[in-house]
Amino acid sequence: MKNKVEFILNELIKTYIKIQEPISSTALKELAHLNMSPSTIRGYFQNLEKMGMIEKEHFASGSYPSVKAMEFYWKKRLPKKIKFFSVDWLENECKNYNVSALVKIFENQMLKEVYNVNNKFIVLEFNEDETVIKYDEHIYNLLLSLKDLYSKDLVKILNHYKLYGLLKKIKNFQKNYIINQKLLYNKFNNINFNTLKQIDDCVINYDKKILIKKYHLSDKDREIDICLIGSVYTDFESLLESMKGGENGKTSQKKA
């Protein structure tokens, strides 16, 4: 796509996201403060329409970006990573921007103690949670050797020894949040949740005009998966601005 054509498309998209109404060439010149005539803008509009990047509700109406254009735009504009996260903050922002979110938080807790209860049960005590399994001498001795390890490392070891029952119990320490659940089911119904688990980055649903963007955050204390779901015409860039970190991010953002 040539630079000037892409520039006009980007200005159309940014303006449409703000006003959510079809835009004429004259309106775009005024709203985006463009230093070119409406007739020149119309010429670019015609090229973009041939490319499938903009559409019209009818012949005499203004133009708006197609889903194809929004995919092109968001895959360039969305931050690749986010550094700051708060459940309360995200819940408030999702309400403001009419976006749903699925959040999974796996707390990286330390295994503090391992108890043998009358050779019947083994109790594993973590920082905030505990779990109980049936006693087995070999497993008990293994777990004693794993004291003071964090659950993130325990998961790898338990998986290696194929202790899937205990592994499942530790993974149940995971906290799940559905933000704007009513919106998720009413507006974005029939979303396949198994498909959401398989998303690594960004997916556009053309039929529903939905953007699904997934982020993963990892630090010493937590593993976090965030899946944002909203209209392709939502201002995701502003929603995510304070989570990016760096110069444009709010580095004072507190963790939940």
Name the domain boundary from 120, 145, 171: 171
- In this structure, are 66 and 186 located in the same domain? no
The average pLDDT across 72-95 equals 89
The beta-strand segments (E) located in 83-209 are 100-107, 111-117, 121-126, 130-134, 175-179, 202-205
DSSP 8-state symbol, 254: P
Name the domain boundary from 20, 52, 74: 74
Name the domain boundary from 129, 152, 171: 171
pLDDT at 248 over 50: no
- In this structure, are 82 and 189 located in the same domain? yes
Separation between Cα atoms, residue 73 and residue 159, nearest integer Å: 41
User: Which domain, by its residues, includes 146?
Assistant: 110-171
- In this structure, are 115 and 228 located in the same domain? no
- In this structure, are 192 and 166 located in the same domain? no
pTM to 2 decimals?
0.78
Instruction: Please report, for the domain that includes residue 38, its CATH number.
Output: 1.10.10.10
- In this structure, are 95 and 184 located in the same domain? yes
Say how many C-beta atoms besides its own lie within 10 A of residue 43's C-beta: 16
- In this structure, are 19 and 54 located in the same domain? yes
| Virtual torsion, Cα 198, 201, 203, 209, nearest 10 deg | 120
What's the pLDDT tens digit per position in 110-159? 999 999 999 999 999 999 899 999 999 999 999 999 999 998 899 999 99
- In this structure, are 59 and 120 located in the same domain? no
